[in-house]
Chains A and B, each alone.
Chain A
Amino acid sequence: MMPLERWLIELLLNIVSREELNAFLRSPQNSAALVGGLIAVSGALLGAFLLLRGMSLTSDAISHTVLLGIVVAFLLMTEFFRVPGDTSSPWLILGASLAGVATVLLTELLYRSGLVRQDAALGLAFPLLFAIAVILVSRYVEDAHLDEDAVLVGEIGLAWANTNSHCFANCESVTITPDHDAAKFARQCRNCRELGISPRDERAIFSETCSNCGLYSPAQAWTAGLLEREPELVFFPKSITVMLLLTLLTLAFVLLFFKELKLSTFDVGLAQALGFRPGALHYALMILVSLVAVGAFDAVGSILVIAFFIIPPATAYLLTDRLSLMLLLSPLIGAAGAIFGYDLARGQLFGFIAVADGIAALNRLSGLALPEEWDSSISSSMVLMMFILFLLVWLLSPRYGLASTVIRRAKRRRVFENQVVLAHIHNHQHTATHEIELNAADLHEHFRWSKQKMSRVLTRLRALGYVRILAGNAVLTERGDRQVHAFRQTMLEAHNMPDLPA
């Protein structure tokens, strides 16, 4: 991972100066937005396919189970191999993703036994694995980066602080040996623990140990004040590297297998028949979902991550019918949610509405005394922002939005009312009973409509110039007559019927 990171930084240094890069990455906002945006892009790309396959909740399932994988891998690292636990280590990510995939297999096994239905198998297996993980976390793991809070919301606000340092010039690493000038020594009791005595006991034997010996990387050496010349350092957040790799992997997968994914998503049978192995593709998708869920764990925890898989694709799905457009829109929506979400956590909605004003208004209205300063969890604000974007699209989408649906339905109702009345007049206007049937005053009774509704429809038809009132009776104008014929013709064509005899 380190050489790759270095290569990336060198690439970036061609564009910006070292100071600018460090300043950019040291800002919590930039790092959080970048990490959140990357999670959103990779999650949305995969989530689009999950959504179209009707498997959105599988991401929920996987995100719950990888927690167990993470915790077990973490415990193995710290207790068994005695290395410092690091939730962004590539080995941990790989191991935990395998756990995710294995559990998908396990649920399939559970409901194939025929004793438990699929929804029940999901609803049973995943809470169980999550429960075991939570018990392990609260009972055995003593680490600030893996506690119940981190499981819930992650630490995206601290993404900037967990960095790898890269040195580009004046790189001096320092090794402090006991005979080094800067070496410090501490007296330590050698046999106190085994004898169970206090260091003041006369039997205690002491030895001098060096308390700060060891290898210092350039960054550590500079911070410890061992160097005279400042090394040229770049501090690069680990989560950005991890998520960038996963995003590139996801992007490559989707681009390379676009045709296969498309085919097996919309027509599994055909994909199978043409030899595209939809089963293998299904598991590849599951592996990637697990990888992204594990990679995102540090930043957003194991529950909120499902929002990054579900909400952006669902939003894009309300905007377009084209898969390629959906794959373009979902990551954009997700990234926008992540970026605006950071502002929301700091009390700014879309940059111009202050949450504090809202709370102040609420306080005035209800007489409560809530503190007006809004400073909330970053990851959940990102999710909320995506949800707000979803709501906006749901309301306003030109084709599938609530507003356009309401308008469309109202328009359809108007057209229907017009046609019914026109047809009624057309059927009766040259018959013997037309005085009874077409009397404008009680026309509504023939339709069992209210009087108001009838007069509304009649006014509309007269304004359109389809109907006239002649001596209290409704009569079609020439235009109205043409309209009826045209409508009947389209209906006949739509139902593929032979033309009426002239």
Chain B
Amino acid sequence: MVARLTLSAADKRGWAIIGGIILLGALFIPLSQLIFDMRFTYTVRVVALGGAVLGLLSGVLGSFAVLRQESLLGDALSHAALPGVAIAFLLAGRELSWLLIGAGIASWAGLRFLSAILNTTRLKQDAAMGIVLVAWFAAGIALLTYIQSIPDASQAGLDHFIFGQAAAIIESDVTLVSAVGVVVLAVVALFWKEFKLVTFDPDFAGANGYRIGLINALLSALIVVTVVLGLQLAGVILMVGMLIAPGIAARQWTQSLDQMVIQAAVFGAFAGAVGAVISALDSDIPTGPMIIVVSFLLVLLSITLAPGRGLLWSRLRQRANRRRFAAINTLRDLYRYALAHGSEDTPAPDDFIRGVRAGSVESGLRQLRGSGHIMQAGAGWQLTESGIALARQDQRNQRLWDLYRLHGDELGLPALPEDRQLNIAAALPAAALELLESKLEPSDRL
């Protein structure tokens, strides 16, 4: 057990990021009170809590949906829940738990119908999903229109299930959702290993005797339960966004499943709570759309800023690489020209050097002059002493790499990833380097 507690550097960084994000999320409450002059009345607290619990659940289960490439299945499942709400209302009246059970059954029926079509016809998944999505949704709308014609006041609020309405959430709803949520999370924790296995390598799981069909069905059932619970808040049309956005955002920050799930839970809770509160404060803003907007902002933030994968960092890395290549290529051009036209310090004419490498030469010349490797000589560029040393060093490094490629195996040199930016002399052990240097041409020896 002790061995498991030692974490790798990447793991440590992941957990540090998660801790930081949780801290920021927690700080958000006092900050919003200070800056936006928010008042956390009883209603707002209930709504925020409900949003946070539902967001947390969606984040956890949504991570699996994202990894299994079933994002659009979530869309179909949530649309398919609508007729269940209407039928449950017709049969049992406006009791939230019955409505949710009805929604769950309808959604599950949609899922079974989907696999029936896929198993017995040649329709592909996208068309089958489209059929289930729109047919179930149309049935729901038709039933809701029928219900609206019933002269009975209690039907009010059923259409909140379409776009979601946070303001309608009351304390008993939060209790119900939390109770079911605890069960769902417990099942996820219990079957963690199995879910991980079927998500990443179902064939391997099957070969090892796990009952994939059963595990998949359980995971799908949990996703259905989550979708159904979230309907009140996000509505059938936009539930898919609440389900998958936290997972997509979390995926950018980490490479491990446990970190991803926890982070998705945090993101989901944040988006759910903030979206619900904003829409509870302004009744003109429906909740589902607001949660989607907040979640998408989190995704945008993650895609640009996440360390490693983030677009910002990869752009910066590309830029730095381009600059380095510009400098080293210009240096090589100058050195090659000088050697071909006399000695190492022969200046190369400006228009020649610009003609050879049009795009990057400006940046290269500027960098080299800044670092004192070249100087202006009349209408041309001449290598300085340090420039000549650097060019020689570079040429020797490239030769060594060439030789390593040619003779590495026959000399029994240790395996290196071929990255020619690296100094091979530093990467190889001294004895190996000596062997390699013996292959150098006499003129290149030091």
Chain A contacts to B: CB under 8 angstroms: 51, 54-57, 59-60, 113, 115-117, 119-120, 122-124, 127-128, 130-132, 134-135, 138-139, 148, 152-153, 303-304, 306-307, 309-311, 313-314, 317-318, 345, 366, 368, 370-371, 373-377, 379-381, 383-384, 387, 390, 394, 400, 402, 405
Contact = CB atoms under 8 A, between A and B. Distances in A.
A400 B66 contact: no
B284 A139 contact: yes
B233 to A, nearest CB: 13
The 4 closest A-B pairs by CB, nearest first: A131-B289, A123-B71, A127-B241, A383-B138
Contacts of A51: 127
Contact of B146 (A368, A376, A394): A376
A147 to B, nearest CB: 12
Given A124-B248, A135-B285, 19 more contacts: A115-B311, A116-B303, A123-B72, A124-B241, A127-B237, A130-B238, A131-B293, A131-B296, A132-B293, A134-B238, A134-B289, A310-B127, A371-B149, A371-B150, A375-B146, A379-B138, A380-B138, A383-B134, A394-B121
B33 to A, nearest CB: 25
Interface string B125-158: 0111111011101110111011001100000000
Given A120-B66, A127-B240, A383-B135, A306 B91 contact: no
B437 interface: no
12 contacts: A56-B126, A60-B133, A120-B248, A123-B244, A131-B238, A134-B238, A135-B285, A313-B127, A370-B90, A375-B145, A377-B145, A400-B122
A392 B136 CA distance: 16
A148 B72 contact: no
- Scoring A57, A59, A313, A374 by chain B CB atoms within 10 A of each residue's CB, the highest score goes to A57
A304 B72 contact: no
A269 B337 CA distance: 46
Given A117-B69, A130-B237, A131-B293, A317 B146 contact: no
B384 to A, nearest CB: 42
A135 B286 contact: yes
B80 to A, nearest CB: 12
B131 A311 contact: yes
B223 interface: no
A380 B141 contact: yes
Contacts of A376: 142-143, 145-146
B120 interface: yes
Given A119-B72, A304-B137, A371-B149, A113 B303 contact: yes
B11 interface: no
Contact of A115 (B238, B252, B284): B252
- Scoring B129, B248, B284 by chain A CB atoms within 10 A of each residue's CB, the highest score goes to B248
A21 to B, nearest CB: 31
B74 interface: yes
Given A128-B292, A148-B163, A152-B141, A387 B133 contact: no
B143 to A, nearest CB: 8
Nearest to A309: B130
A307 B138 contact: yes
A314 B123 contact: yes
B138 A387 contact: yes
A74 B331 CA distance: 59
Contacts of B71: 117, 119-120, 122-124
Q: How large is the interface on B (under 10, 10 to 19, 20 to 34, 35 or more residues)?
A: 35 or more
A116 B71 CA distance: 11
B91 A366 contact: yes
Interface string B102-131: 000000000000000100111110111111
B238 A387 contact: no
A413 to B, nearest CB: 16
B288 interface: yes
B149 A134 contact: no
A153 B159 CA distance: 13
B199 to A, nearest CB: 14
Interface in B283-316: 284-286, 288-290, 292-293, 296, 299, 303, 309, 311
B151 to A, nearest CB: 8
Contacts of A127: 75, 237-238, 240-241, 292
Contacts of A309: 130
A55 B126 contact: yes
B88 interface: no
Given A57-B129, A307-B138, A380-B142, A124 B238 contact: no
Given A55-B126, A127-B240, A131-B292, A138 B286 contact: yes
A122 B309 CA distance: 20
Contacts of A381: 138, 142
Contacts of A123: 71-72, 74-75, 240-241, 244
Interface string B254-292: 000000000000000000000000000000111011101
A380 B130 contact: no
B385 interface: no
- Scoring A115, A116, A318, A345 by chain B CB atoms within 10 A of each residue's CB, the highest score goes to A115
Contact of B131 (A113, A119, A375, A387): A387
- Scoring B122, B143, B237 by chain A CB atoms within 10 A of each residue's CB, the highest score goes to B237
Contact of A134 (B126, B129, B286): B286
A24 to B, nearest CB: 27
Contacts of A400: 121-122
B245 interface: yes
Given A132-B293, A400-B122, A120 B135 contact: no
A373 to B, nearest CB: 7
Contacts of B133: 60, 306
A131 B121 contact: no
A55 B90 CA distance: 37
A148 to B, nearest CB: 7
Contacts of B238: 127, 130-131, 134
A266 to B, nearest CB: 14
A116 B146 CA distance: 41
A333 B129 CA distance: 19
A123 B244 CA distance: 8
B162 interface: yes
Nearest to B303: A115
B72 A394 contact: no
B127 A314 contact: yes
Given A314-B123, A380-B141, A387 B135 contact: yes
Contacts of B134: 303-304, 306-307, 310-311, 383
A378 to B, nearest CB: 9
Contacts of B296: 124, 128, 131
B245 A124 contact: yes
A375 B143 CA distance: 10
A138 B163 CA distance: 11
A127 to B, nearest CB: 4
A274 B127 CA distance: 29
B362 interface: no
B408 to A, nearest CB: 32
Contacts of A380: 137-139, 141-142, 145
A390 B135 CA distance: 10
Contacts of B117: 394
B131 A390 contact: yes
B70 interface: yes
Nearest to A381: B142
